[in-house]
Amino acid sequence: MELSVTHLHKYHCRAQSLCDVCAVPSRKGSHDVTQNFIVSCSLDATIRLWDFTVLRKRLTESKELASFGGIEIECIRVLEGHERGINWVCFHPTQNYIASSADDRKIKLWKYTSEVAWEDSEIKGHTHNVSCVIFDPKTGHLISNSEDKTVRIWNIQSKAQVDIYKNLGQRHWILALQKSGYMLASGHDDGFELFSLNR
Per-residue confidence (pLDDT) for residue 20, from 0 to 100: 64
**In-domain check, residue 46:** yes
How many distinct structural domains can be found in the chain?
1
Task: Please name every residue paired with 164 in a beta bridge, in sequence order, or none if there are none.
Answer: 152
How confident is the model at residue 15, as a pLDDT?
Answer: 47
Residue 5: what pLDDT? 47
CATH number, domain at 129? 2.130.10.10
Q: pTM for the complete prediction?
A: 0.84
What is the model's pLDDT at position 89? 95
Domain range for 28 is: 18-196
* Residue 7 maps to a domain: no
Burial zone of 67 (CB within 10 Å; 0-12 exposed, 13-18 middle, 19+ buried): exposed
Per-10-residue mean pLDDT for the chain, 199 residues long? 46 56 62 75 91 77 61 85 95 92 97 91 97 91 94 94 87 88 86 85
Q: Are 168 and 150 in contact (CB under 8 A)?
A: no
Classify residue 10: in a domain, yes or no: no
> Would you say residue 35 lies in a domain?
yes
